[in-house]
Structure 1
Amino acid sequence: MTDRFRLTYAFDAYCGWCYGLGPALRQFADGNADRIDLRVLSGGLFSGPRALPVAAYPHIPAASRRIAAATGVTFGEGYKHAVAEGTLVLDSTDAAVGLVALSRQAPGRVLELASALQRAWCVDGHSLSDLDVYRSIAAGHGLDAYPTLLLHTPTGIHRLGGPISSALQLTEALDRHMAPTSA
């Protein structure tokens, strides 16, 4: 059979059920790499007005226990501490942007990088809004831990400059994005 099928994995790095599916999905993807083209999309369970401290979601501890029992994954001590403390803000938009930034360096390794984000939260309890988390993931996966400025506008998220940009170049780029568009 020569047909390849496209498979889209929509997940959220903060989603415990996505973390629970992770080991089976990675094994499935590896075992069927010759038959599927896997596309990974990062969702937004905790975006916009739902980007709140973890304490705003009191169901999470019990859900994590159910997920662990059903799938066999282990939630780490760092995760348990962050959930118990309750102040870490779950922001899926930051996680999605971070995955895009990482995957641009390694487009064929998006599932691996998505899993690294899940481990950063579900095992280590790290905020996926912390740039150091992405630097660490990049370094741990042999990628450049380059600095990235992401500008959030009503039209989307745009990269602003690069690692050798001057302040003037960054200001000019910001000015271009802020300039009114002619109709």
Structure 2
Amino acid sequence: MNPWLCVGVLAGLLSSPLHAVSDKDGDGVPDFKDACPGTPVGNTVEANGCSIPVSAPAPVCLMTSQMNPYPSSCHQGEILSIYFDFGSAFVPFEAAAKLAWLAKSIETDHVSLLLQGHTDDIGTEAANYRLSAERADNVAASLAMDFAIPKARITTASFGESMPVAPNNTEIGRQQNRRVDILILVE
């Protein structure tokens, strides 16, 4: 067989679609597999072509600075805490999901936030006070810059090592004490 003929046949095969697959709604799922034809453009879909439901954030149910649940419809609030590595004031990447949830949850509420910085008991009292202030300030900056919470709605406080939530005689306890607690200030 003529080698030029082989190249021509091969080029023709490669340039023409062997199996034309239709995807009329453009969701990336072929029509013959699409259980939900007509999915709106831009929707994220499952393998069957149906939209993945976008869930709303769970309602906020946090503690106020007076240790009451907020909003009043909550029976029990929680203190939202951001945890830090030893000696660090860098807001961990994992905290972004919590902060995003918080920002979305309070975006229509007329409340402010109180950020209380804490440390474990390793180091001097003065150094721990400064570190806890820096942690609170960094969480405040993240909320303002990354999640559009106005700075006027954020207050910070530094407590150093004075308010542990766990014993400081184990690494696990010290890790629980290296934190910023976020409380609601109702206006």
Scaled by the length of structure 1, the TM-score of the pair is 0.23
Larger radius of gyration: 2
Query: Whose helix fraction is larger, Structure 1's or Structure 2's?
Result: 1
Scaled by the length of structure 2, the TM-score of the pair is 0.22
